[in-house]
Structure 1
Amino acid sequence: MGQRFVLKSKQHMSGGIIKIVMDRYTGVHYIMTSGLGLSGMTPLLDEHGKVVIEKPQSTS
């Protein structure tokens, strides 16, 4: 079945790390933060406030 989450990007900022991960089953992107004693994960939003979802590529 493989891993559910795929790392899309990773960036070091001000002593912490910001990662963008994608749920392979739903296509939803999440932003994860860690460092300086804080961490969290929340859906990533686009410029219109909607959750970023990567559509599966067509196989046809």
Structure 2
Amino acid sequence: MDKNERFEKVYTQGALNITEIWVDRETGINYMYHCSGNAGGLTPLLDRDGKPIISTVLNS
């Protein structure tokens, strides 16, 4: 993965129905991407209080 890419895929599951988790390297916010066939969507992952889940960003 290129260090200049803003998003990093940290989890993937499935072949036809794909679920992935991506982390924004600048903000640390986690996003879930899901696609099935020709349709897909991206949304931030939220905790039970409705706040975005934020990972620690390592600048290496």
- The normalised TM-score by structure 1 is 0.77
Separation (CA, whole Å) in 2 of partners of 1:55 and 1:9: 16
| Residue correspondence of structure 1 range 3-42 to structure 2 within 5 A | 3-12=5-14, 15-42=16-43
Separation (CA, whole Å) in 2 of partners of 1:56 and 1:5: 11
Aligned-residue CA RMSD (Å) = 1.9
Unmatched runs of 5 consecutive residues or more in structure 2: none
Q: How far has the Cα of 1:56 moved from its partner? A: 3.2
- The normalised TM-score by structure 2 is 0.77
Greater Rg over alpha carbons, structure:
1
Write out the 4+ residue segments of structure 1 that deviate beyond 3 Å after TM superposition. none
Which residue identity is paired with 2:56?
Answer: K
Separation (CA, whole Å) in 1 of partners of 2:21 and 2:12: 7
Aligned to 2:46: 45
| Aligned-residue identity in percent | 34
How many aligned residue pairs are there? Answer: 56
